[in-house]
Structure 1
Amino acid sequence: MSKQISVAPSARRLTTSLRDIGYSFESAVADIVDNSIAAGADKIRISIDFNGLESCVAIVDNGRGMSAKAVDEAMRFGSRRTYLSQELGRYGLGLKTASLSQCRRVEVISRTNNHPIQARVLDLDFIQSVDDWVTLDYSDEDQVKAQSELLGDSPGTIVYWRKLDRLLPVKSPEGGWARRRIEALGPKLSSYLSMVFHRFLSGESPTAVSIEVNDTRLQPWDPFARDEPKTEFMGVDEFEVEHGDITDTVTMKRYLLPSRTSFSSRESFEAASGIDKWNKQQGLYIYRADRLVQWGGWSGIRTIDEHTKLGRASVDFGTSLDDAFNINVAKMRVNLPSQLRKMLTRPVNELCIAADAAYRRENAKRTPQENDFPASKGEFGGAESGETIGLALRTAAARTGNFEALNAISNLLKAEMPELAKHLGFD
Structure 2
Amino acid sequence: MPGKAWFDVAPSAARLTNSLRDIGYDFPTAVADIVDNSVAAGALRVEVMIEFAGSKTRVYIADDGRGMSPGALLEGLRLGTRRSYKTGDLGRYGLGLKTASLSQCRSVAVISRSTPDVVRTSARVLDLDVVEEWDQWIVIDPGADPDIARARQWLAEGTGTVVLWRNLDRVLPEKRPEGGWARRRLEALATKTAEHLGIVFHRFLEGVGGRTPLVITVNGQKVRAWNPFAPDEDCLSELPAQRFEIAAGDVSGHVDLRRFILPSRDRFSSPSEFERLSGPLNWNRQQGLYVYRADRLVQWGGWSAIRGIDEHTKMARASLDFSTDLDSAFNINVAKMRVSLPAQLRQMLEVPVNELCGYANDAYRKSARVKAKPLPLDLSASADVRSATQAATTTGLALRAAAMQSGEWAAWQRIAATLRKDAPEIAQSLGLEP
Size of the alignment, in residue pairs? 384
Query: What does 1:159-308 correspond to in 2, within 5 Å?
Result: 159-207=163-211, 208-308=213-313
396-405 vs 256-265, greater mean Cα deviation: 396-405
CA distance in 2, matches of 1:62, 1:366: 50
Distance 1:226 1:366, change over 3 A: closer
Cα drift, residue 408 of structure 1:
7.4
Contact in 1 for aligned 2:241/2:258 (Cα 8 Å): yes
CA distance in 1, matches of 2:209, 2:196: 18
1:356 and 2:361 aligned? yes
1:134 and 2:126 aligned? no
- Corresponding position of 1:403: 404
**Unaligned runs of at least 5 residues, structure 1:** 369-394, 411-427
- Corresponding position of 1:145: 149
CA distance in 2, matches of 1:41, 1:118: 18
Instruction: Give SS of 1:72's match.
Output: helix
* 1:266-320 deviation per Cα after TM superposition (whole angstroms, max 9, x unaligned): 0110011011111111000000000000011111111111111100010000000
- Corresponding position of 2:33: 31
Distance 1:187 1:398, change over 3 A: farther
Cα drift, residue 140 of structure 1:
6.5
Distance 1:116 1:243, change over 3 A: same
CA distance in 1, matches of 2:53, 2:144: 26
- Corresponding position of 1:381: none
Instruction: Give SS of 2:91's match.
Output: coil
- Corresponding position of 2:315: 310
CA RMSD of aligned residues (A): 1.9
Contact in 2 for aligned 1:397/1:403 (Cα 8 Å): no
- Corresponding position of 2:326: 321
1:332 and 2:334 aligned? no
CA distance in 1, matches of 2:351, 2:242: 11
Contact in 1 for aligned 2:239/2:398 (Cα 8 Å): no
* 1:161-212 deviation per Cα after TM superposition (whole angstroms, max 9, x unaligned): 1001111012211010011001111111111111100000000144431111
Contact in 2 for aligned 1:397/1:406 (Cα 8 Å): no
Distance 1:398 1:59, change over 3 A: farther
- Corresponding position of 1:94: 96
Cα drift, residue 406 of structure 1:
4.4
Distance 1:399 1:213, change over 3 A: farther
CA distance in 2, matches of 1:124, 1:202: 38
Q: Which amino acid aligns with 1:155?
A: T
Contact in 2 for aligned 1:86/1:318 (Cα 8 Å): yes
- Corresponding position of 1:390: none
With structure 2 as the length reference, what TM-score do the two structures score? Answer: 0.85
Distance 1:140 1:398, change over 3 A: farther
- Corresponding position of 2:378: none
- Corresponding position of 2:44: 42
* 1:337-372 deviation per Cα after TM superposition (whole angstroms, max 9, x unaligned): 01111111111011000111111112223669xxxx
104-113 vs 199-208, greater mean Cα deviation: 199-208
CA distance in 2, matches of 1:367, 1:151: 60
Distance 1:398 1:177, change over 3 A: farther
CA distance in 1, matches of 2:99, 2:79: 8
Distance 1:331 1:225, change over 3 A: same
* 1:122-155 deviation per Cα after TM superposition (whole angstroms, max 9, x unaligned): 1111111110011102266676433311223211
Instruction: Give SS of 2:344's match.
Output: helix
- Corresponding position of 2:388: none
CA distance in 1, matches of 2:37, 2:361: 40
Cα drift, residue 396 of structure 1:
5.8
Distance 1:133 1:396, change over 3 A: closer
- Corresponding position of 1:66: 68
With structure 1 as the length reference, what TM-score do the two structures score? Answer: 0.86
155-164 vs 399-408, greater mean Cα deviation: 399-408
1:120 and 2:124 aligned? yes
Instruction: Give SS of 1:401's match.
Output: helix
CA distance in 1, matches of 2:345, 2:137: 41
Q: Which amino acid aligns with 2:128?
A: L
Instruction: Give SS of 1:402's match.
Output: helix
CA distance in 2, matches of 1:194, 1:33: 12
